[in-house]
Structure 1
Amino acid sequence: MKKLTLATVLLLTTTLVAFAQQSKIIAHRGAWKHTHAPQNSIASLQEAIKQKVWGSEFDVHLTKDDILVVNHDNDFYGLDIATSTYEELLTKKHPNGESIPTAEEYLKEGLKQKNTKLIYELKTNRLGVERTLQAVQQSYDLVKRLKAKDMVEFIAFSYEACLKFRELDKKAKIHYLSSDKAPQEIYNAQLSGIDYHLSVFKKNNDWIKQAKALKLKTNVWTVNSTEDMQFFIDRKIDYITTDEPESLYKLLNP
């Protein structure tokens, strides 16, 4: 085998560093907008995996009878999730014929591959903190039972939920979604990163740099215009969550 020249080694090193610093794509609720798959459906997850995005985000609620299900809104086609049983929710269907997925079904589908991370957003239960924290425990137990800890990262608007996840696991990846905590506070709480709306980062334009200095991960949501995508690419944010993963891919790979 020929020896690599110093110039070749430097070129390879520079390329690898640039790739590592490039913003990664997270498909918001799966890849649904251009594929016409329902948001948060198994089909939208499959489409995101086909696109080889870095991660696919999904939202999880706790039903009245303690079943974790995947859906964004508090209701599933008119049925309030927090006060409905899983069997009641099964009376409704997505337009493609899918039933509401359980978190276990969704994770098992995602675990059929090893490239696209599963970004598990635990929704704040509208019945109170106690139910939210119960959902944290069940979520963590589920991920642990499925041996999915290396593939799953947790995100939540509830600060109490984030702290509970950290209490349960000192190494789990946990990112805070609300905008009321500066990077230093997140670092002090031993969370993994900040995951804020694009308007928050634009208002606090030094928070990305602060977070990076503290070795916190940074993610921005929900970025759908090419102008905003480029804004955050230029600032070397770690992850960009978008309803337009196809457009972001083209921008990152001209």
Structure 2
Amino acid sequence: MRLSRSARPALVVSLLVAGLTAPIATAAAGEPGRSDRPDVIAHRGSSGVAPENTLAAITTAREHRADSVEVDVQRTADGELVLLHDCTLERTTDVEEVFPDRESYALSDFTSDELARLDAGSWLSPEFAGEPIPTLREGIRALGPRTDLLLEVKVCAGEEDLGKAVADALREIPGYLPRAVATDSLVVQSFDHDETRAFHDELPEVSVGLLFGARPTDAELADAAGWAQQANPRHTLTDQALVDQVHALGLDINVWTVNAESDMRAMIDLGVDGVITDYPQVLREVLRAG
């Protein structure tokens, strides 16, 4: 994961809010030393071929030579941090078979021991039968020393203080945080910008990113430039003007979720810093082909 750009002077932020960034954006597009090859970021692991957010998906992403793995983190009823995208368990586990009489299948209503009874792999293929829901610690261990982590804090209804809980959990993994900070191999992001800020307040030395489901406004980007390192929008919202605007503010931009080869090439041509994809092996081939 490349080091984030240095923040521009406050004047740039003021100009952005005023809508006067075109000259600055043009200059930033030609900034010396910028790589024209984006990071390959495996979305929920190599989720195109392995069950998302599992150890199998993470290890497959390593085999596919992903630069970074993006996973989602949530909290169980007994406070364990685990990797899962959906707020409920039905889509990617056999929870309805194992616990047929439960009134709620929200992950936050299950303990870690209960989750350990679930199969999180068979929904995709019998090949992955018995694949468990991993803990955050298990997921980090599966990354190994050469693959970076893009960790999404998934805030579901009723969840509070998850950003702080993630910070606390990362502190408790022996040796992980000093190494991750020294190598710039960890970024924490979320659609919930308040929880992102709460995490940042706890661990300001760790890079953070803001996810955007709608095109970010000038004001949102100006605010992000004051404390975050990344602004990460949906790829269908991203054009050259947005990429240049984000770069002019000293931020990196990772786009999601890019699965078609034509879209991969389009994002590469725009000069984004990272491409988040279910198929990192395909993106790697697209980059190799030039």
TM range (shorter): 0.7 to 0.9
Are the aligned partners of 1:62 and 1:125 in contact in 2 as well (CA < 8 Å)? no
Give TM-score, length-normalised by structure 1. Answer: 0.83
Q: Distance in 1 between matches of 2:166 and 2:33?
A: 36
CA change 1:211–1:143 in 2 (3 A) is farther
Higher RCO by CA contacts (8 Å cutoff, separation 6 or greater): 2
* Same amino acid, percent of matched pairs: 25
Q: Distance in 1 between matches of 2:193 and 2:152?
A: 13
Q: Distance in 1 between matches of 2:88 and 2:241?
A: 37
Once superposed, what is the RMSD of the aligned Cα atoms?
Answer: 2.1
Match of 1:48 in 2: 61
Q: How many residues align?
A: 230
Q: Which runs of 5+ in 2 are unaligned?
A: 1-31, 96-104, 123-127
Match of 1:149 in 2: 180
Aligned positions of 1:1-254 closer than 5 A = 20-34=35-49, 37-76=50-89, 77=93, 78=95, 79-94=105-120, 95=122, 96=128, 97-110=130-143, 112-114=144-146, 116-128=147-159, 130-142=160-172, 146-147=176-177, 148-150=179-181, 151-178=185-212, 179=214, 180-181=216-217, 182-188=220-226, 190-202=227-239, 205-254=240-289
CA change 1:44–1:154 in 2 (3 A) is same
Secondary structure of the corresponding residue to residue 188 of structure 2: strand
Give TM-score, length-normalised by structure 2. Answer: 0.73
Paired letter, 1:104 = R
The CA deviation string for residues 139-183 of structure 1, in whole angstroms up to 9 with x for no partner, is 443467633533321111111111112212222110001244542
